[in-house]
Amino acid sequence: MPGALIAFEGVDGAGKTTQLAAFVARLRALGLPVRTCAEPGGTPIGSDIRALLLRPGASIAPRAEALLFMASRAALMDAVVLPALARGEHVVMDRFFLSTYAYQAGGRGLPLQDLASANLFATHRVVPDLTVLLTLGEDHSRARRVERGTSDRIEAEGRAFHTLVDQAFREYATRAWQHAHPEVGPVLVIPADAAPEVVARRVWDHVMRVEGMTERLGVPRGMPAHQSSPVAVRPRSR
């Protein structure tokens, strides 16, 4: 059976990367084969595209920016994600479809329909089995962004841009939006305004409760969360 494709999403500072690492460590502790990928990047051409996209001060038109993200995604799908899934490995992505919607549609104002088509073109119409969307309260989100500073071109965008991205993710967390956008696959919303360990437990418990997910991942039935979780959560240092 092909592996499962799971994406972690959320605003800058929501703790995505930390939570992804904790989730993957739990799967690996169960002996399951898992690959992780972060977008943009993950291939030689993807790394070059990433450098172009994030270089501070670069001027990139919004459609060019969107297509560069798509080019990196297409390269990653062909070289890494699709072969891994075909071998039966699970793939856990740090950012995917929803980031394009939030940053390029929400933030830049590009038409969502065009981005949806480009996404499916880039992925050969492969849609995530699940997207874990980490959410923060508005104040919390702003505070974490300030804490993290602005080291790349997108982080350095003004407050208005990040507010739009934030609002977009908030909208994607609603059932109404998800119902209207089946093309992104199922979305699981996890509030992330808590200690990393608490959020990690929430993520694991909720993912395991998604219908058919334990079978899909190959997690043994009836495994209590604490037995499958010998892994400490370490926030990422930047």
Chosen residue from 32, 154, 210, 223 binding ligand TYD by CB under 6 A: 154
* C-beta of 97 vs 217, nearer to ligand TYD: 97
Which stretch in 18-26, 98-106, 186-194, 213-221 sits in contact with ligand TYD by CB under 6 A? 98-106
Does 141 engage in binding with ligand TYD (CB under 6 A)?
Answer: no
Does 196 sit behind a cis peptide bond, omega within 30 degrees of 0 on the bond before it? no
Does 129 engage in binding with ligand TYD (CB under 6 A)?
Answer: no
* C-beta of 100 vs 178, nearer to ligand TYD: 100
Chosen residue from 8, 23, 69, 169 binding ligand TYD by CB under 6 A: 69
**Which residues make up the interface to ligand TYD (CB under 6 A)?**
12, 16-17, 38-40, 54, 69, 94-95, 99-100, 103-104, 152, 154-155
